[in-house]
Structure 1
Amino acid sequence: MTIITRRTALKIGGAGLALPLLGSRAFAQDEPLKIGFVNVGPRDDNGWTYGHYVGMQALEEEFGDRIETTFVENVAEGPDCERVLRELAQQGHKLIFATSFGFGDYVIRVAREFPDVIFEHATGYQRSENVGTYNARFHEGRAVIGTIAGHMTETNLIGYIGSFPIPEVNMGINAFTLAAQKVNPDIEVRVVWLSTWNDPAREADAARALIDQGCDILVQHTDGPAALQVAEERGIIGGFGQGADMSAFAPNAHLSAIIDIWGPHYIAATQKVLDGTWESGDSWPGLAEGEVVIGDYNEKIPADVVEAAEAVRLGIIDGSIDPFTGPIVDNTGTERVAEGETIDDAGLWAMDWYVQGVQS
């Protein structure tokens, strides 16, 4: 395994544009399959990128010396990403995972130059013959933690720290709010947008501002534990880990977590590449498949609240509960989903609106 930070990646430098390579995608196993991971944050962010790092470790354990991995950290969503993707392809990586939404255009661009390299883009939507996409139904987990928040808030004000207003994040905000309001219809969710995935100082500042407004529970769709640490310091009811269990950073405030389990997908995709059976497609599992997992419940959560959260989790798994079952009205008063109807996947990926009770 090779770990490459942004600084060491810059030292490597570009070797110019590679000419397209032709040939079969079946991989001859007389040498290790080189697999690259391109990440927007550091592996020790204790959240999103850490989850992918754990997934890569599971991959290494499964295949041993049949593969060789490179994990590139702190790659900005811009031209820097394009350079890193191209360099990995030039260095002989035949399977490259790009793990942030904003990498999408660059994945497509570089993939055209290297048709014998397979690219998979996490949380993306653009595909081609050698580009696939994969994701997890994080919004299902948001419905579970929203149920907890609905029961436990005392001020009816919940703070939500958002990264970017993209469909994936919007789904989470709406699923969380709908679940919380099923318990307590008076709940209001206040969203602060940071326009970044990982900036501990700004996450902490946003947490303080939301608490000062009266929010007694914090939710985040950013990658580190800074907001939870502020919740711990300020003594509010608590918050939830994102991407990984963050309880070590806020043992009292950490109520539970949405944990991403990427290992099975990485193992399956790698096996297909080794077998020569990989085909472009989209993977979007959730709670039922075990790619989204709810972390341990804090002992301070009452037993009846845990029971309610588990009822939602198990209902989503067995299909009896859909977080987006109508009637659903947005925060302008417009009905978005009629009673008894649900939003299909296409509608989820077009979600650019917020439900009633969300201030964004």
Structure 2
Amino acid sequence: MASRRAAVPAKYLFNGFKAYEQPSPCFARSMATATATSETPSSNPTPIPQATLSQTHNDATLHSAPTKPILEDQVSIPPAAPAKPSYAQAFQPQPNPFAQKAQCTLYNFPSFEPTSFVSYPSTHLLLPLRKDILHRAVIFEGDAARQGSANTKWRSEVHGSGRKVRPQKGSGSARLGDRKSPMLKGGGVAFGPKPRDFSTELPQKVYDRAWRTALSYRYRRGELMVVEDEIEISGVHEDSLERYMMDILRWNKLSRNRGNDEGRSLFLTMQRREGLYKALRGDGMFKHARAIEAAWVDVKDLLEGARVIVERMALETLFEEHQSDLPERSKLRNVMPELYLQEGKVLGKRES
């Protein structure tokens, strides 16, 4: 069994603390800052016990140095000031992430050496990834690309006689009509496909947002390469175009055989470049790269493949055509007016 302890009343627990409530006169005298010479001893001093003679001698002969009183506490941490109400604080607007600039490196073709830089607004090339919008755009393009030309003949459209094959009763077999029945070989097709339109609807603003989201996705991954001039191969014999283009892809790690196993590269041009298109027309080049004009490219093409190599004029034209969801002040014409003042720009020619 556990030993029992005597219960101590609570009033006896604090007996030891009473000595510190009122310090003794000797203790208070030793802590004083005033000197002992200023006091005049009385003519009839009170008898002092032997235990306190040494302390009295020290107080009478030793002088304590005057100390400066501590007026401020410089050690302890001051209490925190009360917080101001939210309505009393000054309004500070949050930084706008769309006010930033997306800086692109301009390359030279075919050496792919960096030549300069160009900055585009973040509303065109720095959008967050929206998989839902990209999915809707890809489905919209796939539905619009369906031909819907499948056609079958119903029994009324099949050529043949409408005479009844056998009597209705008496033969012991199932009742049957004419030879054009769907149950017989050579007859019509029950509920077969007919030509129809598979295209679906998608708001133009959503589709334009998907375009710029796909380009922003490529830019964030470092897979968007902007060429300052035209992507054209000149001065090479027609029989050597394929080999020359293959050397360019291998040297810059754009082919699937040299550090790029994710897919083929995509070249976007403003117009048809005969030298480039002939070089990529061969059977062995189709798995490495392909070229498309900017007028025929879609969102699915931007998401497929390893890298997107686009001409600067083609990129700016795509920006101009797919910005219907932006306000007028955020469009490329108002944000970068210097693009329309340069001579030879496609954007400037489209206005004339």
Q: Which of structures 1 and 2 has the bigger CA Rg? A: 2
**RCO comparison, higher one (Cα < 8 Å, 6+):** 1
Pick the structure with more helix per residue.
1
Pick the structure with more strand per residue.
1
- TM-score (norm. length: structure 1): 0.21
- TM-score (norm. length: structure 2): 0.21
